[in-house]
Structure formats: structure tokens, C-alpha cells
Structure 1
Amino acid sequence: MTDHVHQLSRDEARRIAVRAQLLDAERPGDVVEVAEQLGTIKIDPTATIVPSEQTILFSRIGWGYEPGQLVSAVERDRTLFEYDGHFRAASLLPATVARMRGRVLRAQAAGWLEANARFRADVLVRLRAEGPLLASQIPDTSQVAHRDEAGWYGSNQVPRMLELLSHLGEVGIVARAGRQRVWDVGERVFAGVPDLGFDEAGAVLDARRLQAAGIARRRSPWTPVSEAGDAATVEGSTWRWRVDPAALAALGDDAGGRVAILNPYDGMLFDRPRLTELFDFEFVLEQFKPKAQRVYGYFAHPILVGDRFVGLLDAALDKKKENLVVTAVHEFDDLEPEEREMVDAEISDLAEWLVVPVIRAT
């Protein structure tokens, strides 16, 4: 980290962000390379095309990616691990575990754990004796039910208990059986993980978040990077930025852009304020809107061409008829014929990767 403030053009800032997310012309070679650069890969079951973790990897690696590679990396090679709804690079494990073990839960969650002390002990005893186990294999012996006003959990309290204990490092996920997580006690899951101080771990995670973003607002709840990297300004922006020095140094090696179709839960899209500030793209996921209020579709995928978001793909995989149904390609501005051809080619590549034909809705 230096005291020098780098002055970046908007084009340079966008290129840094795109390259940091591995969305430029130089594709990564495998799952581990993607995970090490991005740090985290979002897991989500919504699969209008395929689940987010699969789309995220395909949009980076392309044809070289096969879904079995992710399973192998997590469950056999242990080069990735699952925590808090993401697959994460194994190199982040010491910092993640340190932050887990030093975590202070919010009052409501802490109170629920305290009220269910016997239940908590029952879950840990069962896992130590019989684990690894699915949540469904662990009895619900709770004393107090969680008030789930948002509707994320059912009446069974075991999943809620496992989630909270995972945030404290007392349990962890070791595999998946389909979409179901397989759990074990933390002392087995995290055995041999090097110790790291709480503050040191925070600095490591800040630096890795900045590595994945390339450039981020200095004080952002979306991409918290604190004082990682170097200070920067961006042409036309009043924000105070932090930039990854390695990304800045590599600007001259830019291999150019390409087309990428991004899952709505892609990390490139997570920091909505940054997306608007740098890319002039206000992305609204319409999944939770009433159907009559949707403009672009239930789960439209943003389309990136080079360093510009040019439209949204409304498409779905019809598993019964085995085809990719393209309802619409919503262009924000009229694309040049060459750009439209590139977008169509990427849609065709996606369909071929899925081993289905493209069907255009009339």
C-alpha cells in the first residue's frame, strides 16, 4: 500500500474491474484458478438455465469447464470449501476460520442459541458420534422455535441451528448430496488449518475482496476493502477508491474484451452502486417482482460486451423438451451488427455447452 493517489480514466477503471473478474479475452484454465482470483463463487438453486455456481464458472472458463470439476475440487481435492452460501478458495480458509471463531452474533441469534443450549449440544454430540450427516438425519430437540418471518426456514429447527453454528466455526460443510449439504463438526472439518489472528484475518479478506473487484469504493458495505491496495480517483467520480496494485500494473497487458453472459448472482453484479458508478448500469433483478411488473423477465442474465453492459438475456432451459428457449435479448441501445453477431454466438456456445439447441420464442 502506498500514499500515492492513482488517477484513472473511466475506461481504465472498467478494464481493471472486468479483468479482475476474469471476464476479459484471456480466459482462466480451471476451477481453482477462478476461485483463487474471485475468492468466492455464489451458490444459488435458482436455475432458469443452470444454477449460479455453474454459470459463473462457464462464463469465465468456457468450453473447458465441466460441472464435475467443481464437485471434484470441493469434495476430493479440497482446493475449494463451502461456507455461507459460497464456494471459496482453500487459501482463504485460515482467514475465514479465524473470523468465524471471533464472530459475535447479533442479539436475536445469540439469544436463540442460549435458549436452545441443550439442542445445540445435542447437534454437536450427534455429529461427533455419527457425522458427516445431512440436516434431515439430525433430530430436532429444540426448546424454542425460531421466528422465521421471512419464510426461509420450515418448522424443523435443525437447519437454522447448523447455519448459526457454521458462522461460529463449530460445524462445517464437507460435501453435498444433490442440493443438500452434508455437515460435520468444526474440529474435523477445520483440522490442521493454520491459526491466524482476528485482525490479521480481516486484513487478508479485505485484500482478497479488492483482488476480486480490482477497484472498489474505499468505504463500501457491498465490497468492504478498508485500506487494502492503493488510493485512486476515477475520472468523473467523486468517490474515494481503492485499487489493487497488481491489477493496476497489469493494465498494459490487457488482452481485450469479449462477450459474457452473467448469472444475476454473479459477483461482478453484486456491488450495485459500483455497477452504476463505473458502468452506468442499474441492474434490477426482477425475480421477486410480480409478473405484471417485470420488464426484462423473471431471471434475466446481463450481457457484457468488452467493458459495457449492452442488454439482458431472458432465456430458460426447457428440460422436458431439451432446448434453450430464448424469449428475448433486450438491447439497451441498438447493437452494431458485429456486436449482435458476437452476442448470438455466445448464446449458441452456452446452448452447445448445455448440449441443447437454441429455440427463439416468436
Structure 2
Amino acid sequence: MRIEAEAARRFLCERLGLAGPHWADATPLSRLGMVQIDTIRIAGGRNHEFVLSARADVPTRGFDAQVYGPGGFVEQHYPVHLVRSAWRRRFMEGMAHRAQRYRIAGMSDAEVAALEARVLDHVRAHGPAKARDFDSLRVPGGFDTLKATTIALERLHLAGRLQIAGRSHAFERLFDLTERLHPDACEPVVPGPLDEAAVADLARYALEVLRLATPDALVERVQHHAGPWRGDARKERLRTLTHAALDRIGAVPVEVVVDGDPVPHLVLAEDLDALRAAAEGDAPAPDEPMRIVPPLDNLLFDRPRFARLFGRRFLFEAYKPRRERSFYFAMPLIHRARFAGIVDLRLVEGRRLMVERLEAVPWTEREALRVALHRLAFLVGAERVSAHARIDGAMRKAVIGRVTGQGGARG
């Protein structure tokens, strides 16, 4: 099957929940399979909260209740992300490998076992606990030193004895017993090899996350899911095992024509109808809402794909020196499955959503941008949208105003 880049964009946005009307709630979020968590709080939310707001009419502050509460996702550690609960076991096998090597400096195995038992007893008696609920000697670890109990919590999480029940108001992890959160899956997690079956599962998960991937991008994602620190996760080995698993996982080759050149990609057989619909269907509806997409969104998990299909190279510049960056928390604008610009936002005094920087393509519709900004302002609890003086005068005038609801009506 061969499709044009435009159809590939439509398909990708539809599969990732960035096309059509916004969801009424977070229920369809499980379609994504994985959501990356980030600690940076900007414009009234964090990356994962904006992943939700780009798709659903749910306030950013409601993310935990929508995602942790129902148990459809579990939080994993490398990197910090939420994955479908059904995938937990395979991801935890990789984490168990890491737990074996995560030592507590200056403590014997017996002392570590006693400390972990004390931590488990506390959680069993008092419910979900965070690191600062414990007091113990600090030992080498992290950037400098960590409490021994903090490392014990980490070890118990990696080993599958504890799970993340949610986050505190200060974004601290709340650890609870696996047997309490997942009573049907609380048997000890034993480190397993990355054999053919394990790689096939991870390849399936990776393609469910990416939805459309080149063979190389799929291998990179498999390595990412397995944990690139593992000795048996070398890329060439995974390439061989992933290629051998393609038929088993239902991966189908397609060609995406980019600037006249066909580029090999893979999709799941179950997605072929959606791919054909994107290729043969009508153009997106004129009133399709513009999406404000966070920098670690699923759409950007494969940044070369984003550059290839959307015609824009994207960089996450938050960790670059200020003098070297154009944006801080750059959020791409996607409208009708096309790149419409990049915006950098900041929440001022909890009341104003400030447009710090804006780079819009010539065809960007001002009213659609206004509605998107006012909708996001509403979801983060802001009362007004304002714009820095550096923003183009006509565009600035078009987007500022009082927030009266998700429709972006002028105030």
C-alpha cells in the first residue's frame, strides 16, 4: 500500500487522538498506550496534563483522578511514563534487572532486606507513602546523596513490590503495595531475558504507541521500552528479533510518499482500514479544532517522523541555556493534521495565560488559534489570555481577551 504524506498525517493524528472533536472525558486515553511524565510545570500544567488537554475537555488539574484512579495506566520508571496496565508485567521484567544492580552504599544485604521490610510494613499499615514520610541516614546516590529509605522505595518499585498510586500536590510519587493496587498481578517479578517472545511483545507495544513507524524507528522504540542499559538490548540484536516478529505482531509494510520519494513504514493490520480512510476520505471538517500539543507528546515520540511528515524540525529547548533557545516550553500547533506553528505559554499569577512567543505559518487561522488558547486557559483555570509585546500586533489583538469558557468568546 502506498499513501501520500498528507494522508499519513491525517491517519497519525486520528490514531493519536489529535483529529476530530475533543473527547468528552479521558476514557479514550488508553488508546495511546503510553504517556510520558515530566516534572516541568509551565502554563498551569505539566507535559502529561497537556497531553490530556490536547485531546479531552478535562481540566489539567484532573489528570491524576482521570488516569491513576481508574487503574488503566501504571507508572513505570525508565523513563518516567505511564503505560497500559495490561503491559505492566513485561515492562516490570526489565525494571527487575535494574533493581538487582541498584545498591545502597554502605549497607549489607541483610541490612537492606531489613530496611525494605520496614518500608513495606509502614506502607501496609499507613497506606500510600512518599519519600519524605521516612527518615533515615543519607547515603551516596542520585546527584549527591539520598536517604537510604528513598533508595529502598525505588528498589521495591523496580522489583514490583510497590507501585505508584498517584502523585502528591508537590508531584512526589505515592508508593503503595502492589498487592493492594493490582491484586491479580502481584506475584514477584523475576528478571527475564529479552528472548523472541519478549521482543515480540515489546514490538507490538511500540507499534501501538507509534502507530506509523519506519523499521528503524520501531527498533529504537523497542530498545526504549526494553531499557537501553540492558546488556541484551543491543540495537543490532533487537533489529534481528524485531524483524522476525513482524508477522507475529501483525505489522504490515506501507510506503509513505514524502516529497516524491516513497519511505518504508509499518502499521498494524488492524489500522489498515483507518489508513485507507485517511487516504480516500474527505478533507478535515472546517470547524476541526486546533490542538496545542506539548513537547513530549506521543506525536513527538519520533521526532524524525514529525519533521518528515509535518515539515518542521522540533527541538525541546527547556534544558538549553537561555541565550541559545528560541522557545522554552515549545508547544506545536496542529490544525487539520497540519503544522500551524509553535507557541510558548506561561501562567502569570495563576490568572493570565501569557503568550510569550508565537511562530505561526502564513495560513494559520487566527480565530482557530484564539479558540485553542482560550480553551486551554479555561482548562488551566486562567481568567484572561494576554500576549507579550513581541507578538505581531494583528495576531496579538486576535488572541487576547477575557476567558469566558472553552469556546474562546471575546470578553
* CA-CA distance at 1:172 after TM superposition: 1.5
Mapped pair 1:77 → 2:70:
yes
Q: 1:223 aligns with which of 221, 224, 231?
A: 221
Equivalent-residue separation in structure 2 for 1:277 and 1:118 (angstroms): 54
**Corresponding residue of 1:357:** 384
Cross-structure match for 1:3: none
* Deviation, structure 1 residue 317: 0.5
3-state SS of 2:204 partner: helix
Shift of 1:56: 0.9
Alignment of 1:72-221 (within 5 A): 72-84=65-77, 85-90=80-85, 92=86, 95-101=87-93, 103=95, 105=97, 110=101, 112=103, 116=107, 117-118=109-110, 120-131=112-123, 132-140=128-136, 145-146=140-141, 148=142, 151=143, 154-178=145-169, 179-193=171-185, 200=197, 202-220=199-217
1:234-249 aligned at under 5 Å gives the runs 234-236=256-258, 239-249=263-273
Letter paired with 1:343: L
Paired letter, 1:270 = F
| Counterpart position of 2:233 | none
The CA distance in 2 between the partners of 1:349 and 1:217, in whole Å, is: 35
Query: Sequence identity of aligned pairs in percent?
Result: 23
Correspondence for 2:355 among 316, 326, 333:
326
Question: What residue is the counterpart of 2:295 in the other structure?
Answer: 264
| Correspondence 1:278 to 2:315 | no
TM-score of the pair, normalised by structure 2: 0.73
Q: More deviation in 46-55 or 187-196?
A: 187-196
Q: Secondary structure at the match of 1:313?
A: strand
CA RMSD of aligned residues (A): 3.1
Instruction: Give the Cα–Cα distance (whole angstroms) in 2 for the partners of residues 166 and 128 of structure 1.
Output: 11
- Structure 2: which 5+ residue stretches go unaligned? 224-241, 390-411
Distance 1:141 1:353, change over 3 A: closer
Deviates more, 1:276-285 or 1:117-126: 117-126
Q: Deviations over 1:80-117 (max 9, x none)?
A: 32222223333x2xx3224413556369x716369753
Give the direction of change, closer, same or farther, for the CA distance of 1:120–1:260 in structure 2 (3 Å limit).
farther
Instruction: Give the aligned partner of residue 44 of structure 1.
Output: 38
Aligned length in residues: 340
**CA shift in 2, pair 1:223/1:101, >3 Å:** closer
List alignment gaps of at least 5 residues for structure 1: 1-5
Question: In the alignment, which residue of structure 2 is the partner of 1:233?
Answer: 255
Conserved? CA contact 2:254–2:264, under 8 Å: yes
CA 1:26–1:213: 2 relative to 1, 3 Å: farther
Deviations along 1:122-159, one digit per CA (max 9) or x if unpaired, are 343023312032112234457x623x4xx3x6533443
1:288 counterpart (309, 313, 319): 319
Report the CA distance shift for 1:328/1:32 in structure 2 as closer, same or farther (over 3 A).
same
